[in-house]
Amino acid sequence: MAELFYKGLPPVAGGVYDQAAVFVHAARFVRAEQEYYKAKMLELEN
């Protein structure tokens, strides 16, 4: 789901519970973790 967000498909706000803001926060967290571990892997390769 986080990858869809970064490809331009954000969640739709509304409904009984508005979870769009929480999703955006989670997507940013996932992206940061992915970038962190990619950098770690590159560091180990060198």
20 or 18, higher pLDDT: 20
Q: How much is the pLDDT for 29?
A: 94
Residue ranges of E strands in the chain: none
13 or 7, higher pLDDT: 7
For 18, half-sphere exposure in the C-beta direction (CA atoms, 13 angstrom radius) is 3
Q: Which amino acid is at 37?
A: Y
> Any idea where the domains of the chain sit in the sequence?
2-45
40 or 9, higher pLDDT: 40
**What is the Cα–Cα distance from 4 to 21, expressed in whole angstroms?**
15
